[in-house]
Chains A and B, each alone.
Chain A
């Protein structure tokens, strides 16, 4: 990760975020009757700039409500234009993701950038077996011919007992196993960047340490980059190479975890 951004300068970065601003748009008549939308546009993210280099784990740390999840959604252009105004640039592979059409973004989401959420039970389909759900991702993005078999994916995600896991429904798996199935889904197309939004919150410390080691291993072996969102300093110290600290919608500090936290 680099601190500054030189306009026009060649960059080895995987992802470059430049002056990203997100405002929650006003809605007519808001403010009365307990509406959640403001009476005038309210800034949610202000002047966010950072870069992620290949094979690094960048931590995004901050208190609840500081804008971490909004930033993750903005990077994938997932914020509704009816509700949010997004300005700035999110560059990856020479393209500004904020300027792509939904059709063009289909090739980026899931294939080049994956998103892992906090609660795997909500992310997984309760009536489909784990193996089917991972295969579904591979099929949807045409990743099958690339050679990533279900077995190798499950092994990558640290699921040694892959036959049992593949045949199980989400409710038959433990919390740690479910999160690993979601990770296997995320790795199905060997994305360059995985955005993990509080992936460890529902897990006990033993599972957190195991998954932190898995992230670091994937970063070293596959050169996969991670943007790891967490409000836990312990998770940051155990996992991230560098940390961005957010407060009030801005990045207020950045550096090595031990130095910053």
Chain B
């Protein structure tokens, strides 16, 4: 069980906390996403999702494949427009922004996908990959962007000498570090990790977990960790939301969820995780 359970910040169900007066960084209200024309009886991909996340907190979003975890992430990062509902981020309604404001907001919320090799441009050098978001956001000159990229590579444990290598020359774990460096280069406030650990073996998983914890502390990052692995969510997150069929069916502090799982889906996930000889990372 993780020792870093949150002692303050907003509780999952929105109850007041010791910092109850502080506004959450992220406030999702009634978010619904229907793909195509809704057929009678077919459930939407997201069905009235409500969620609050305080600054510096890490939320584990767990559930079976197809439960809507990635759709939620895509609605938070401008990849999918929700059918209904609102996403408030620092008092701004994301989907009411347009033009320059939306581009600026993209820098504040970054996402890392599952397969690093697929999300890294094979023609770019490592430094170009990490610096690309700076170029898109038109920040600094070429030299400053490269220097910032190389410095971030060092922050995530990649050697300065590797700046000229291309993605395929890195190992799986190194590629994931590169993806993390690229996500952090714009100083985001919210980092979403969408199954970013799935392809990694246990040793790499432990390494990347350690790196993210360190960065979270050092940079004051708020994180959403999307995973089908309850063990991983317990290791990284102070609170866990369980999704099923497009809905959040349970949302509690990690310790509470493990001690008193209320929903049948949570209980089944917990039982299966323990049956797989679960040990902390």
Contacts and interface: CB of A to CB of B under 8 A. Distances in A.
Contact of B64 (A62, A174, A201): A174
A231 B201 contact: yes
Interface string B265-280: 0001100110111100
Interface stretch (A11-19, A160-168, A206-214): A206-214
A248 interface: no
Interface in A201-239: 201-209, 231-235, 237-238
B16 to A, nearest CB: 33
Interface string A53-90: 00000000011110000000000000000000000000
B10 interface: no
B18 interface: no
Nearest to A238: B276
A176 interface: yes
B168 A34 contact: yes
A175 interface: yes
Interface string A160-192: 000000000000001110000000000000000
B138 interface: no
A24 to B, nearest CB: 14
B202 A209 contact: no
A66 to B, nearest CB: 9
Nearest to B268: A206
Contacts of B172: 64-65
A238 B198 CA distance: 19
Contact of A209 (B62, B171, B272): B272
B162 to A, nearest CB: 12
Interface residues of B, number: 30
Nearest to A235: B276
A175 B204 contact: no
A238 B35 CA distance: 37
B270 to A, nearest CB: 8
A238 B166 CA distance: 39
B200 interface: yes
B173 interface: yes
Contacts of A65: 171-172
Contacts of A231: 200-202
Given A235-B276, A238-B276, A207 B64 contact: yes
Contacts of A34: 165-166, 168-169
A206 B271 CA distance: 8
A205 B229 contact: yes
B7 interface: no
Contacts of B64: 174-176, 203-204, 206-207
Given A64-B172, A64-B204, A202 B198 contact: yes
A259 to B, nearest CB: 14
A203 to B, nearest CB: 7
B277 A237 contact: yes
Contacts of B269: 204-206
Contact of B228 (A36, A204, A233, A235): A204
A62 B201 CA distance: 8
Nearest to B204: A64
A205 B173 contact: no
Interface string B166-210: 101101110000000000000000000000001111111000000
10 tightest A-B CB contacts, nearest first: A175-B65, A234-B276, A231-B201, A205-B272, A204-B228, A206-B272, A237-B277, A205-B273, A63-B201, A209-B272
Given A34-B169, A175-B65, A203-B64, 17 more contacts: A34-B166, A36-B168, A63-B201, A63-B203, A64-B173, A64-B199, A64-B200, A65-B171, A65-B172, A176-B65, A204-B64, A204-B65, A204-B269, A205-B269, A206-B268, A206-B272, A233-B277
Interface of A: 34, 36, 62-65, 174-176, 201-209, 231-235, 237-238
